[in-house]
């Protein structure tokens, strides 16, 4: 649906990009820009920039970028129209649209409300006579009444349509019930039945406080065929890879770190014993999305997975994801109990606090895991242990860290520190050589480097496209320059995408509207990221001669259709940067 340009301009003005982004990212000023850790990919060094005067964001790491509307789309996984509606709601603005128009965002609102009603239904049933066994089970597992209330825990009756009937009475349609994932559909006659039956129910709540799904735990262990946990399927509002159980509560913790555990019961037990920073992954191993989500709320994570082989493998997989997200990782290994829930019931909070203080950093944990694989009494295995340990140590960025851990491994294997340091140096040099070779491959292909990062956007005439990029960056910095580009039409642009951008900017200039990224409509997220990127790459003092150079190049390439060589491209790039006064 098209929104009036005047409405969009007011929407952007009333939603300053630094305020909207600041709800998700801690920003620090550097000159005219603001910088923070990117919320869309993991990183340790802030490469995510916000430029308030241009109303745009751009990440130099993952290359996402665009206007405040594009940020809302990316961060909340919304369509363009629904991002506009969300920002309008934030600013208290009325959206000019047909009231009958059923948007994705309105569907989401209905599903959030439906899940909230379902959570109330389950919680009420827990205290009804029908839920007596479930309530006893919860108390037997050590949960207090305040904990049951805090987490909204409930009970799904052992019936076929209790929830279906209750939600129908609340006015929800059968299609909405199907969309919610809370029902199953009979293949025989299409009738709807409750998905969760005779289970203790755990609402899954997102960081904004919306109930988006459920996890149901079986209580009757005699039924070996039933899954221990049954989770909501993925729906319009529920993506298990992008959410974590109890993060809505843990994000408010003052402890300064987050604890990541495997299951709901472990997270709940930790909260009940005073460790209100615990979260759990949702029925699957940690994902990069989950790690990135954690990095929005902390810079340190303590991993506590089960001590069995599956738990240790999950720990090894989670460590690089968390570090890639810029998080400091510690690993707590359970002793005398299989999980935190059992440990807390056996020994209490004080003993667990001591365990936390003794938790090892990820390097210590990984070196210990390597040691367990080898018998150091066997010379061949000792050599393999030393080589694998050296590879791990060589990945550390600090020479001090490399020396410290080399000493520990040398001591464990009873060899000299000098011998171990030599092995680490060899591994470090091999790693550097691999990285250098990869970089050389990139550096030897300048034409490929100049291509857009997104695989969905490609330039056929690179020489013209470079001039087109520079021209757009110039007019976005100084819209008055559009008066001098009158001879150009979007058809003269070799890139259809850049031609569309130019056409919209020109039209806004003619109509007396603001010429900025926020005024661009009907572009995909990838396209807007690319446009924001070209603006960032071509910043510098506005130079009228550079504009004329771009104009002539675009016209000449349009008329001749000649394919430029790599030497032509590099010469053109350097010439344009020189015109603008920026470093090559």
- Cα gap 379→176, rounded to integer Å: 65
Helix spans in 251-339 (H) = 264-272, 288-295, 309-324
- Cα gap 521→5, rounded to integer Å: 9
Q: What is the pLDDT of residue 566?
A: 54
Instruction: Look up the CATH superfamily of 5-91.
Output: Zinc finger, CHC2-typedomain (3.90.580.10)
Residue 439 and residue 405 in contact, taking contact as beta carbons nearer than 8 Å = no
Where on the phi/psi map is residue 4: left (φ > 0), alpha (ψ -120 to 50), or beta?
beta
pTM of the predicted protein model: 0.67
- Give the CATH architecture of domain 450-580: Orthogonal Bundle (1.10)
Q: What is the pLDDT of residue 499?
A: 93
Tokens 């940690």 — which residue?
286
Q: Name residue 329's beta-bridge partners.
A: 301
Closest CA to 221 of 119, 133, 124: 133
- Cα gap 368→556, rounded to integer Å: 65
Q: What is the pLDDT of residue 363?
A: 87
First to last CA, the chain: 42
Lookup: tokens for 27: 């920003």
- Give the CATH architecture of domain 107-238: Alpha-Beta Complex (3.90)
Domain residue ranges in the chain: 5-91, 107-238, 247-360, 373-443, 450-580
Sequential pLDDT tens for the chain (584 residues): 578 887 888 899 899 999 999 989 989 988 878 999 998 887 778 999 999 888 999 999 888 999 999 999 988 878 888 889 889 989 888 888 654 444 566 788 899 999 999 999 999 999 999 999 999 999 999 999 999 999 999 999 999 999 999 999 999 999 999 999 999 998 888 899 999 999 999 999 998 889 999 999 998 766 666 788 899 999 989 988 889 999 999 988 999 899 999 889 999 999 999 999 999 998 667 888 888 888 878 889 999 987 777 888 888 889 988 988 888 899 998 888 889 999 999 999 999 999 898 888 888 888 988 998 899 999 999 999 999 999 989 988 788 889 999 999 999 999 999 999 999 999 999 988 888 877 666 555 545 556 776 667 888 888 888 899 899 999 998 888 998 888 889 899 999 999 999 999 999 888 888 888 888 888 888 889 889 988 888 877 777 888 888 999 999 888 886 555 555 555 655 655 555 554 33
**Helix %, strand %, coil % of the chain (to 5):** 55, 10, 35
Q: What is the pLDDT of residue 122?
A: 98
Provide CB contacts within 8 A for 223, sequence distance 6+.
none
Q: What is the pLDDT of residue 169?
A: 97
CATH number of 247-360: 3.40.1360.10
Interaxial angle between packed helices 309-324 and 288-295, expressed in degrees from 0 to 180 and rounded to the nearest 10: 60
Query: Exposed, middle or buried by CB within 10 Å (0-12, 13-18, 19+), for 494?
Result: buried
Query: Cα 288 from chain centroid?
Result: 7
- Cα gap 193→157, rounded to integer Å: 12
């Amino acid at each position: 649906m098209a929104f009036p340009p005047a409405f969009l301009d007011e929407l952007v003005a009333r939603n300053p990009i630094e305020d909207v982004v600041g709800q998700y990212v801690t920003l620090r000023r550097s000159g005219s820009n603001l910088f923070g850790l990117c919320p869309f990919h993991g990183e340790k060094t802030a490469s995510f920039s916000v430029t308030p005067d241009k109303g745009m964001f751009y990440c130099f790491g993952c290359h996402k970028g665009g206007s405040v509307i594009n940020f809302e789309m990316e961060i909340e996984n919304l369509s363009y129209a629904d991002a506009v509606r969300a920002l309008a709601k934030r600013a208290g603005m009325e959206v000019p649209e047909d009231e009958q128009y059923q948007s994705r965002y309105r569907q989401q609102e209905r599903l959030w409300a439906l899940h909230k009603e379902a959570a109330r239904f389950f919680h009420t049933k827990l205290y009804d006579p029908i839920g007596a066994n479930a309530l006893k089970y919860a108390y037997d597992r050590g949960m207090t009444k305040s904990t049951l209330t805090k987490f909204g825990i409930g009970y799904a009756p052992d019936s076929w349509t209790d929830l279906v009937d209750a939600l129908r009475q609340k006015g929800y349609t059968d299609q909405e019930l199907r969309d919610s994932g809370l029902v199953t559909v009979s293949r025989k006659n299409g009738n709807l039945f409750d998905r969760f039956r005779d289970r203790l129910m755990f609402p899954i709540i997102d960081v904004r406080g919306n109930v988006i799904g459920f996890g149901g735990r079986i209580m009757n262990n005699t039924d070996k065929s039933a899954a221990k946990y049954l989770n909501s399927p993925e729906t319009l509002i529920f993506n298990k890879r992008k959410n974590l159980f109890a993060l809505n509560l843990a994000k408010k913790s003052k402890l300064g770190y987050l604890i990541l555990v495997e299951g709901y019961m472990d997270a709940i037990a930790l909260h009940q014993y005073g460790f209100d920073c615990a979260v759990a992954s949702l029925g699957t191993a940690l994902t990069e999305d989950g790690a990135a989500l954690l990095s929005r709320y902390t810079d340190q994570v303590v991993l506590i997975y089960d001590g069995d082989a599956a738990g240790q493998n999950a720990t090894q997989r989670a460590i690089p994801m968390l570090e890639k997200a810029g998080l400091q990782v510690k690993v707590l290994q359970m002793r005398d109990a299989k999980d935190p829930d059992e440990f807390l019931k056996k020994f209490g909070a004080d003993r667990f606090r001591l365990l936390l203080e003794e938790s090892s950093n990820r390097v210590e944990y990984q070196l210990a895991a390597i040691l367990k694989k080898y018998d150091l009494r066997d010379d061949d295995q000792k050599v393999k242990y030393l080589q694998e340990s050296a590879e791990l140590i060589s990945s550390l960025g600090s020479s001090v860290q490399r020396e410290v851990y080399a000493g520990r491994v040398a001591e464990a294997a009873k060899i000299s520190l000098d011998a171990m340091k030599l092995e680490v140096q060899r591994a470090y040099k091999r790693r550097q050589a691999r990285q250098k070779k990869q970089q050389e491959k990139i550096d030897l292909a300048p034409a490929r480097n100049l291509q857009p990062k997104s695989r969905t956007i490609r330039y056929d005439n690179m020489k013209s496209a470079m001039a087109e990029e520079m021209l757009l960056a110039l007019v976005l910095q100084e819209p008055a320059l559009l008066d001098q580009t009158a001879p150009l039409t979007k058809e003269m642009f070799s890139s259809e995408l850049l031609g569309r951008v130019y056409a919209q900017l020109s039209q806004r200039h003619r109509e007396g509207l603001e010429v900025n990224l926020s005024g661009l409509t009907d572009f995909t997220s990838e396209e807007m990221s690319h446009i924001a990127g070209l603006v960032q790459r071509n910043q510098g003092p506005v130079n009228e001669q550079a504009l004329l150079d771009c104009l002539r190049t675009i016209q000449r390439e349009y008329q001749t259709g000649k394919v430029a060589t790599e030497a032509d491209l590099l010469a053109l790039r350097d010439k344009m940067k020189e015109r603008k006064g920026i470093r090559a």
